Amino acid sequence: MNFSKRLQEWYFVNKRDLPWRSIQDPYFIWLSEVILQQTRVEQGMPYYYAFTKAFPTVQELAAAPQEQVLKLWQGLGYYSRARNLHTAAQQVGAMGGNFPKTYKELLSLKGVGDYTAAAIASFSYNEAVPVVDGNVYRVLSRIYGIATPINSTAGIKEFKALAVQLLDISNPGTHNQAIMEFGALHCKPANPFCETCPFNDQCVAHAQNRTTELPVKLKSKPVTHLYHHYLVVRTPLDNTLLVKRPQQGIWAGLYEFPYIEASKTLECQELQEQLKSQEWLSGVRFRESVTLQHTAVHKLSHRTIHATFWEINTLDEVNDSVHIKDAFEKPVHVLMDRYMKSQWNAYL
């Protein structure tokens, strides 16, 4: 029995009932694929339903303000996906709401790379192009004993060639769904179900006891440590101050408290010395000394943010401040969201 036939037989018995699998509409398939990039299905499902409810068509997504899109995305992480999603929707909107119908044309959409284009093309249009994501790398590297790093130029080329060779060209959509599902549910990163695997009679990793070694990935660059000292303004009218991050870099376009960046975690006295250089606080009278409210550590792919939240109670109102209730309506990053919900829960 060939690879794809075994794979699809497993799939028809074990596949999950996911809402985007019963349709061929490229909008919903694209939406699901973007949401599920670097996200588990269980985490992404509520976001899929929220987006399809808020934006039933790609034109409605295209017409939405970016802040609304970012707010719906809040908590999912990797916010560039949301910004690219919005831009790509506007591209499709400019095409009359009609998605490109081929793999090559789909690559013209913002944020749509090789994997996403292949998924849409095969699931919606049955184009014979293979998908190669993290699940597929893992399945192929283990079964065929490939130790070429998956994040190397040679590895990307080798795995793509193998995926093309194994693809069921008569039913590429089902084949692609099957191999992704097999990697997610059966050939898992840790504790794969080797004993009941339909490929255990030919799997190199299983025969050589190498499942924990494969796939191989080149080491990433060293982690940078950042120290952010967030200044939580509280005015007499329960207003606070939010600033919008630049449109580039981490958490682009999201709101947060103003912060001081330092080379270390500061003590209270050190922070108060730093406050003297903050022009936006010039002329503002403090009710009392700044107080430490909350600390957190947040790990990104190549950065670790050490966050400290300091509350500043003022005797005066501050220009451009917003009421705390209104602050909850703004799209904010995960550190902000956690602080606001833990400290200001009464305003929800």
| pLDDT score at 249 | 85
Place of tokens 């504790």: 191
pLDDT for 173: 95
Q: Any idea which residue has 């795995």 for tokens?
A: 159
Q: Quick check: 95 pLDDT over 80?
A: yes
Spatial separation of the C-alpha atoms in residues 240 and 115, rounded to whole Å: 43
Q: Who wins on pLDDT, 250 or 9?
A: 9
- Report the distance separating Cα 304 and Cα 66, nearest Å: 27
d(CA 25, CA 229): 46
User: How far is it, in rounded angstroms, from Cα 117 to Cα 108?
Assistant: 9
Model confidence at 283, pLDDT cuts 50, 70, 90, reads confident
Q: Which of 39-43, 225-229, 254-258, 289-293 has the lowest mean pLDDT?
A: 289-293
Whole-number Å distance between alpha carbons of 302 and 224 = 6
What pTM value is reported for the model?
0.87
Q: How many other CB atoms sit within 10 Å of the CB of residue 185?
A: 17
What does the pLDDT read at residue 281?
79
Per the CB < 8 A criterion, the answer to whether 85 and 34 are in contact is yes
Instruction: Please state the rounded mean pLDDT for residues 156-169.
Output: 96
**SS3 category, 12:** helix
pLDDT band at 219 (very low <50, low <70, confident <90, very high): confident
The predicted pLDDT at position 301 comes to 80
Helix crossing, 41-54 with 66-73: angle to 10°?
A: 150
User: What residues are annotated to the active site?
Assistant: 33
Sequence-separated (6 or more) residues with CB below 8 Å from residue 190: none
Mean residue pLDDT of the chain comes to 93
The mean pLDDT value for 186-212 works out to: 94
Instruction: Record the tokens describing residue 294, joined without a space.
Output: 């909350």
Model confidence at 197: pLDDT above 90: yes
pLDDT band at 1 (very low <50, low <70, confident <90, very high): low
Q: How far is residue 286's CA from residue 139's CA, in Å, rounded to a whole number?
A: 60
What pLDDT is attached to residue 211? 94
Q: Alpha helices, DSSP H only, in 167-323? A: 172-185, 204-207, 268-275
- What pLDDT score does 250 carry? 86
* Percent of the chain whose predicted confidence (pLDDT) is above 90: 80
Amino acid 6: pLDDT: 95
Q: Give the CA radius of gyration of the chain.
A: 24
Report whether pLDDT(12) > 80: yes
The CA–CA distances, whole Å, from 87 to 16, 77, 250 equal 31, 17, 18
What is the rounded average pLDDT of the residues 219-246? 92
What ranges do the domains of the chain cover?
3-131+158-185, 224-347
Q: Is the peptide bond before 215 cis (omega within 30 degrees of 0)?
A: yes
CB hemisphere CA count around 320 (13 angstroms)? 8
Q: H/E element holding 202? A: none
pLDDT digits (tens, 9 = 90+) for 300-336: 888 899 999 999 999 988 889 999 999 999 999 999 9
Measured between alpha carbons, how far apart are the two ends of the chain, in Å? 58
**CATH H superfamily, domain 3-131+158-185:** Hypothetical protein; domain 2 (1.10.340.30)
pLDDT one-digit tens code per residue, 67-87: 999 999 998 988 999 999 999
Give the per-residue pLDDT at 288: 75
The pLDDT value given to residue 45? 95
Q: CATH says 224-347 is which class? A: alpha beta
